[in-house]
Amino acid sequence: MENKLCQVLDMERVQALEAWLKSTNTKLTQVNGQRKYGGPPEVWDGPTPGTRCEVFISKIPRDAYEDLLIPLFSSVGKLWEFRLMMNFSGQNRGFAYAKYATAAMASNAIRQLHGFMLEPGSPLSVRRSMEKRNLFIGDLPAVTRQEELLQVLRVLVEGVERVSLKAGQGIEGVSAIVAFTSHHTASMAKKVLMEEFKKQFSLNVSIKWHSVEKMNLEDQQKPPRLPPSLKPPSALPPRLVPPPSVRPGFCRAVGGPAAHQQPQSDGQSGGVMRAGSPVLLLQKMCEANGFGRPVYEVFYSHARSDGFLYFTYKLHVPGAPTVFKGLVMILPGPSAGAMLEEAERAAAQQVLQLVA
């Protein structure tokens, strides 16, 4: 075995790495197929890096190690962390991640080191890391509840921030989008969660990265046309009383358990109405108190670093003097239309809390 490894590895390069580690007193940690420096390094005296501070490095020669890479990438900015992906032979896998103190330093690394010749004929590729932080967990039981799932995940893995459940047409059982504190914690969770669900609960779940669909902001920021006969909006009374036949539901957006009913359309709402949803509840409450159907204007605002999307809204209730305005956040959905529907549900939930 030792002879075979020697045939694969350039032992001079391995010895050079060991000598550099000893002379610089640099510590590396082997974790799940990668070798990590820092996160932060022992001498770090700055704040934790924010968004857009990490770069993805590829086309690394297989016998290049941290003794060459860390000094090179440190030369353009202060490194918080460097992770080199490794295989069992001891060679690197050709790619690595470098996280800097600031986004400006990461941009500087891209400008100066993209195309850098670490070896003749081997230009490095350096670009901004995607830093995905959301996982999609599918095939969960239909009885799954948001808060219970959040508690379970926090026991099984580190770095879980939020959970949003998805149920409805085209989805088997219940699915969840889980937001993590960092790409690293999400990657570690992705490696172990499938096996943990099988071992702990005898469940065969599916787990994959969840990516945000790019929204057409120009289209999303056009407010809907209001009917010409719509009266000027006015205020709701201090408290609305829901009719006995309607039970308050929960918003599937961030902050509340999900409703698991199938989608139902009333022919006018474009699929927004769902049994037990805040949208339906608010409409029924308005009708029971002699007001018209609420009219929503929802606009995409911005995305947060952890993947959550912000929407502003204006909610008009015909026959009253106030327009409700606010800001809600949701997890990304399968399409721009689905995300707008989710934002409307969040807006309705927020208004219900204001008038309750």
- What is the mean pLDDT of the segment spanning 98-113? 94
For residues 92 and 65, the answer to whether their CB atoms sit within 8 Å is: yes
Q: What does CATH list as the number for 134-209?
A: 3.30.70.330
CATH 3.30.160.20 fits 228-355, yes or no: yes
Q: Does 315 have pLDDT greater than 50?
A: yes
Please report the pLDDT score of residue 6 as a whole number: 47
Position 144, amino acid: T
The rounded distance, in Å, linking the Cα atoms of 292 and 286 is: 6
Residues of the chain with CATH 3.30.70.330: 2-128, 134-209
In tens, the pLDDT along 85-102 reads 998 888 899 999 999 999
For residues 303 and 310, the answer to whether their CB atoms sit within 8 Å is: yes
pTM summary value: 0.48
In tens, the pLDDT along 22-39 reads 999 999 998 778 899 998
In 10 A of CB 284, how many CB atoms? 15
What top-level class would CATH report for the domain 2-128? Answer: alpha beta
